A and B are shown apart, each in its own frame.
Chain A
């Protein structure tokens, strides 16, 4: 029941906001209602976390009701360690985003209610998608997230927003519809083998022929690869992030895109382990290309928002690489990376968004020497940037290291090329920082003021978490690891045995350690 309440709270908040009468500027009531709802959701998610038994493993806090009998679709929720981590990410980021978005200048100020209502709708649907243990329910929620994001980009973004919104929607819809074909296929196969059911636990017991499994896998994977986004299906992301407001970008990249990588773990690996294994060489190559391509293009960007979008393409490459390397280490790294990347990208998008709003331009070449007049902003950008390039001591480092360490045991070339991505990351972040913040104050930047209290309040939690998890990631890993073990044992690959002889007994090697 608690999961339903958790997902329903933001949705109810969104409906409430839609019903609230519009008030004259500065629209404080809508903002505070939205913030309040998101904080309540955060508290609820902490309650969920407290109720979640870390050692028990499996799906917990489950609830199940029949939904559409003919389809075998259930309203079935439950969380494992991976799901709860991402739910937590969602509930932490949403209040941060909402608080940071207080100052957003909207094209039509009258639509403030709608702006925050759509944000809360995204949060609720995302929580639902992370908690769904029924393929049909997951699909519906996964696709439904497109609608609020589409309106967020299209109604509240920059001058090219409607092009970006349509591109975003069509790309994601193509993937989603291919997944729909697979969902239909699952239904038919499941109905042939008895009563139709979309429950994860029932679907895992289906017998597929090899070819069927591969085709169904491709449908799911297409949707997730576009969502994640994996090269060469990524081109919608820079456009969307370049036009959207910073808050929308955070929700899109840090939360909704995570449903893609999350879906790969829960649905691709969970339902089609054989096909996932079959496809892994190709996916790994694409992931490595994503890492390098995203990083190289990030270096070449002049628009800060597009730069961050390309860094995300690179980071998602790492996450996908870790997933398809099929080792407990890399998979745990990927899951942790989803959380950390969410935080670090959120901090980057938000702080650069504040910069851009002050300067009135997103071009790196328009900035220069801002550090002198806005030291706090510059400091936050530095921390966020360094976290994005995985500086040790900041959260993403741990996860990137785990991914690479895990991948090394599976494929040395893939890991070696992926490691190059870290070097490139240093380039794109540091060059950007240098041009924007250091040097003499460039003309036109005089009006850039430092962060005010509200903005600091919104960014502080993200920065604290980035630093804190950089030194002490174990609490999160304790939640994640039992779930990862289950996934790996389901895929049935197991960790590869070390090639160098080790002085431990055979059984310990079979079990595989963490990190």
Chain B
């Protein structure tokens, strides 16, 4: 006992982990800025803290994005397998590969646009859309006092950046433990952000609680899946699991259980049926900028993780999981489309629409078409990357419109209040109509190209009949998007009608970017498609 204590030379040598700092710099930048934000929160005077926090977040994201571009162009120099480019980094914890870095890029773009919405202060008379003091009970005297003193929560920026770090890690994690940690890092700040709405605080808090409880529940499923996978494969590394799955001779039951449990956790995050029930409540209750961030970011990160787990780790057992995912995809598309028809609240409608889109994305996913070396045919991965980009940008745009349509009680999300919007403010209604057309997949919008790519990936994977189902559900889904257009343009306003707040340059920028991207990706999708296609496959 004493001997082991006395001599340090008896210890096995502990080598410092080898971290590829230059490759991982975008993640470090965002994490660093988030930590810096916490410090600012503690030491900066309250009067100018909001601007500093917002500026810091935006600058950090822009810097990280610039670095992401650099990393992406540098991927070509790294080794990779036949189709994949990039390498496994941080001692095997992360996989910095084409799809992963592409996902960093789009996540940072979503983050950037969301931060602009976070920082919008003109709509609430010079205050942000977040509650002044979350600790006050809704309707209490101290809340009134907080409002009177114009208190603001500036922690929302570091929180969002932590969530962004989690998303970036989630999209590139190469072992299941890292993936779980990333999942929690991305979720916890979002649970909190959901409860911070300035208006309708009870609903917002309810949304946060629901999201937290159900999210924690699904995380446990995910964790149990990880445990079973470890028991089956003896490793957390995706590539080791792949070897175990591909060379399996038995133990089917444990593999199936592990796959199913992990699928539950991941499908929850993307909002696929039957794990979707949190989506409408949370989307409706959360502050709209947070909803925008969640709708675009969480879905993108979770889809990347889903692809990585199922294509890399469980690729060898695809015959086992594909039938189930096909069923999930069909139910998700169908339910999302049908239920949204009966919605009367814009945010809930967009929530169900996001469920339907998860279904369409799953159609591309089950195709599991990995491409061939000498063919430029759209792969499942690149189709999903493209779809996520278009969907995310249009979603953020749509939610930005939601923040602008207001009455005396804040945002008016009831659809009947949107009647006649096309007459009072044609530009705003026109951009919302454009996002709706893009969601519906009408040509000349990015949504059409996105639909096209996921369908072609599914067909390439042999699921032509799923494509036919997909297009029929698209028609169904189109009905409710069109309904909104009818309401805005062809219906007379009821009573006073909504007022449209004049936003500051921030929200205007978000709207302009979303409109230009939605149209541009519909007319000239070539460059982005090439980029997505060039991202290649996942490294192992």
Whether both chains belong to one complex is answered with: yes
State A165–B490 Cα separation when bound (angstroms).
10
A residues contacting the other copy or chain, number (CB 8 A): 38
Chain A nearest CB, measured from B491 CB (Å): 7
A251 to chain B, nearest CB (A): 18
Contact, CB under 8 Å: B490 / A144: no
> What are 28 residue pairs bridging A and B, where the CB atoms are less than 8 Å apart in the complex?
A68-B525, A69-B526, A69-B529, A70-B378, A70-B526, A70-B530, A71-B378, A108-B423, A139-B443, A141-B443, A147-B444, A162-B491, A165-B490, A166-B483, A169-B478, A173-B440, A173-B474, A173-B478, A174-B472, A177-B472, A180-B452, A181-B468, A183-B452, A184-B456, A188-B459, A191-B460, A196-B376, A196-B377
Chain A contacts for B464, CB-based, 8 A: 181, 185, 215
CA distance A183 to B449 in the complex (A): 12
Is A170 an interface residue, CB under 8 A from the partner?
A: yes
Q: Please tell me if B22 contacts chain A, counting CB pairs below 8 Å.
A: no
1/0 per residue, CB under 8 A from A, across B510-535: the answer is 00000000000000011001100100
Is the pair A155, B489 in contact by a Cβ cutoff of 8 Å?
A: yes
How far is it, in angstroms, between the C-alpha of A166 and the C-alpha of B479 when the chains are bound?
8
CB distance from A183 to the nearest CB of B (A): 8
* C-alpha spacing A215/B482, complex, angstroms: 29
B455 adjacent to chain A (CB < 8 Å): yes
B377/A165 in contact, CB under 8 A = no
Interface centre among B464, B489, B490 (most CB of A within 10 A): B490
Q: Which residues of A contact B443 (CB under 8 A)?
A: 139-141, 143-144
CB distance from B481 to the nearest CB of A (A): 10
Does A173 contact B444, Cβ atoms closer than 8 Å?
no
Q: Is the interface of B mostly helix, strand, loop or mixed?
A: helix
Residue of B nearest to A215 (CB): B464
Q: Which residues of B contact A181 (CB under 8 A)?
A: 455, 464, 467-468, 470-471
Which residues from B are CB-within-8-Å of A154?
Answer: 485-486, 489-490
Whole-angstrom distance between the alpha carbons of A170 and B491 in the complex?
18
Complex contacts, A140 vs chain B, CB 8 Å? 443-444, 448
Given the complex, which residues of A lie within 8 Å of B456, measured CB to CB? 184, 187-188
Which A residues lie within 8 Å of B468 (CB)? 178, 181
Instruction: Tell me if B19 is interfacial: C-beta within 8 Å of chain A.
Output: no
The reply to whether A184 and B475 form a contact with Cβ atoms under 8 Å apart is: no
Residue-wise, chain B 67-92 has the 8 Å CB interface mask toward A (1 for contact) of 00000000000000000000000000
Minimal beta-carbon separation of A483 from chain B (angstroms): 27
The docked-state distance in angstroms from the alpha carbon of A215 to that of B440 is: 24
Prevailing SS type, chain A contact patch:
helix
In chain A between 406 and 422, which residues have their CB closer than 8 angstroms to a CB of chain B? none
B442 at interface by CB-CB < 8 Å:
yes
Chain B's interface size range is 35 or more
Chain A residues with CB below 8 A from B441, complex form: 177
Map CB proximity to B onto A123-147 as digits: 1 under 8 Å, 0 otherwise.
Answer: 0000000000000000111011011
Complex CA distance for A147 and B434, rounded to whole angstroms = 10
Report if B247 contacts A (CB, 8 A). no
B460, B467, B468, B470: most-surrounded residue (chain A CB, <10 A): B468
Q: Which residues on A sit within 8 Å (CB–CB) of B440?
A: 173
The distance in angstroms between the C-alpha atoms of A312 and B471, with both chains bound, is 29
With A68-B449, A184-B455 known, 13 other A-B pairs at CB within 8 A are: A69-B376, A70-B526, A71-B378, A140-B444, A147-B444, A151-B489, A154-B485, A161-B490, A165-B490, A173-B442, A177-B474, A180-B471, A181-B468
| B417-462 at interface with A (beta carbon < 8 Å) | 423, 437, 440-444, 448-449, 451-452, 455-456, 459-460
**In the complex, B342 has a CB within 8 A of chain A:** no
